[in-house]
Amino acid sequence: MADLKFSIYMTAHAARDFLNNDELFKRFINVAKSLGVSKVYVENYRDGQLLSDDEVDAMVKRLSGDFELAGGTAIGTWGSGWFSYEDYGFKVACISDDNNKRLIADAMRHLAGHFNEVLIDDFWAQWCHGEHDVELFNRMHGLALSRGELMRGIRNNDRRILDLWTNYSASVLLDVSENFVVKPAREVNKGIRVNLKVAEWREDFPHRGLILSKLAQLFDSIYVGTESREGTEQYGSFLITEYVRAIVGDKLGGVWFDTFNGLYSGSLISLSIYLKQLWFSALTSVNEVVFFDAYSLTLGNRAKYIDAVKAEEPMLKSMHSNQTVDKLGVLMPGIQVNGAVIDRYVHDYLGMIGVPLRPINVNSIKRGDYVLITEHAVGSIDIIELARRGVNLIVTSGAAELIAEGALGYEGFELLGLVRDNPLMSPVIDALYLISGNHTASYTHRRPGAFPIGPILNTTDVKVLLEASDGVGKYPVVYVNEFNGAKVYVVNLTKYPPYLKDYYPELARRIIRDIAFEYVGVRVDPEASMASNFSLIPYANKHLVIYNMNEHPINALVTVDAARFNASSVRVIEGRGNVKDFELANGNLRVRVGIEGESPLMIKLT
């Protein structure tokens, strides 16, 4: 692995402030050097403010010799002097507007005159739904929708409207990116590297035109936002990077995150989540982490964040040096689809209960693989053909409900082992307890006594692994169906992800880890009555990271298929934890570990 590099992004506003305030600039230099930053991105445009050539030259001169330099720009933002925009509480430029296109091209020419490499901030997207965009959308698709009709279709999750809008947005974004971003830059500087950073909201990429496979053909590198805002699941910081890598491959350039919480404008993120962003970013095996932004990192209330990063840095870089790009996990198809509702960000929740996921190009899926089938995949990939090829499927609640409603016809009923006449018994029940064999599990200490589970399906001859009872009947919620030699696991525990993560009896989470273990060959089970907020990241070189995101320490049992990993022993590589003991039993290497609160532990199987 190449060494992990730290960079800082300096906004146009920060550059101007630094040029006018020597004390503030010195504070920035101290912060950058204390963090071991090797590269600074100097932005030329944001929110209508374009730096002059003299200002950019002056900042370059001040930084030269101490840092590698590149340019940055936020050409998706709107400000005074620009034209049409859309307001989301922040104003973004409408890129279909010819006048805005001219200003975008001017900003790119300006930037290319100063730098040989540039990074475009993640405001670059097709955000707008104004009358002009509606007119262009209608012209493209031969429609006559009013803006109100279009917006109702989008709000109501009309898949046809959403897909047509994706086609429109992607067409606009690609055209403007090619002709008003990359082309003007290369007219000024033929050899310039033009890199694009995309945000952390991967589920909205298609709607805003960010079709990664096409953008990767146009831009030199794709950087990824790994922000996990307050109220989101931090495993998403890891997963989005792996997801983008599955689509763009070697074009993945690096990651980027900031210090803002996302709930209150301008408010700080908690230090705990900030460090989780840092750790999950570095655990993806990328070689560059970009801190945003230079000005905010000089503020007094960021000092503890800087100190915390410095404290983590030696351990972070040590773990990074032992990683591989290739990782193990249940396969997640690397597809971009509009309209997921039930399964929106469900992958992040699975990662928070110890289920390792590995995004992959759909064309790389092979016989014997275990593939997570979510709502996104229904109608987007040929699920039935995958099963016919001997690919094992793990079907979520969102996908199962669509299939039970007839999305794949009678073959879909056969795939899931459903009765044809009445495949969907109920979208949800209020369960009181779960049953697996002779074991019954209900609510635990200070938890709700009932919990929603669904959908409830009318099954044929399937093998039931877990049932739920509402006090009246018992219903299969996790089962396996044999279909043309493939195993089709139906896991109707994911419709209400916060319940899966924090409220269902532990039996529910454990049975999902049982299924994942069949394929991955390694699992982690904390020794607790309720186990969540931990992630497992297995690397292809027999290194494992277990990340405990709880404030409290945990003890956990790591179970490894000894033959598959050719493992009979284990040792700690890095982290805040220890191996308590291990043994070989029944073909498995069983390792008991202790991990401190909010800490990762890396171990190596030997």
* Tokens encoding 574: 């890095």
Q: Got the DSSP string for 337-363?
A: -S---TTTTHHHHHHTBT--EEEE-GG
Q: How far apart are CA 417 and CA 414, in angstroms?
A: 5
CA-angle at 87, arms to 85 and 90, nearest 5° = 110
271-323 confidence digits (pLDDT tens):
999 999 999 999 999 999 999 999 999 999 999 999 999 999 999 999 999 99
As a whole-number percent, the residues of the chain with pLDDT over 90 amount to 96
* Tokens encoding 322: 């032992």
Distance from the first to the final alpha carbon of the chain: 20
Contacts (Cβ under 8 Å, ≥6 apart) of 400: 416, 455, 457, 490, 492
Contact 398, 495 (CB under 8 A): yes
Q: What is the pLDDT of residue 556?
A: 97
Q: How far apart are CA 104 and CA 374, in angstroms?
A: 38
* Tokens encoding 254: 């690096």
Q: What is the pLDDT of residue 446?
A: 84
Polymer length of the chain: 606
Q: Could you give the domains of the chain?
A: 5-321 (3.20.20.80), 327-520 (3.40.50), 521-606 (2.60.40.1180)
Q: What is the pLDDT of residue 603?
A: 98
Mean pLDDT taken over the chain:
97
As a whole-number percent, the residues of the chain with pLDDT over 70 amount to 100
Q: How far apart are CA 89 and CA 95, in angstroms?
A: 18
pTM of structure: 0.97
Contact 122, 199 (CB under 8 A): yes
* Tokens encoding 66: 């101490």
Q: What is the pLDDT of residue 397?
A: 98
Contact 284, 319 (CB under 8 A): no
Q: How far apart are CA 577 and CA 151, in angstroms?
A: 52
C-alpha distances (whole Å) from 136 to each of 96, 161, 364, 383 are 9, 14, 37, 34
454-507 confidence digits (pLDDT tens):
999 999 999 999 999 999 999 999 999 999 999 999 999 999 999 999 999 999
Instruction: Read off the pLDDT of each residue in 43-52 and give the average, rounded to a whole number.
Output: 98
Neighbours of 178 (CB within 10 A): 13
Q: What is the pLDDT of residue 470?
A: 97
524-535 confidence digits (pLDDT tens):
999 988 899 999
Residue 574 pairs in a beta bridge with 602
In which band, very low, low, confident or very high, does the pLDDT at 50 lie, cut at 50, 70 and 90?
very high
239-275 confidence digits (pLDDT tens):
999 999 999 999 999 999 999 988 776 789 999 999 9
Contact 285, 323 (CB under 8 A): yes
In which band, very low, low, confident or very high, does the pLDDT at 2 lie, cut at 50, 70 and 90?
confident
Contact 436, 466 (CB under 8 A): yes
175-217 confidence digits (pLDDT tens):
999 999 999 999 999 999 999 999 999 999 999 999 999 999 9
Closest to 394 (Cα-Cα) out of 298, 484, 291, 494: 494
Q: What are phi and psi of 127, to 5 degrees?
A: -90, -20
What is the sign of the dihedral through the CA atoms of 169, 172, 173 and 175?
Answer: positive
Q: What is the pLDDT of residue 277?
A: 97
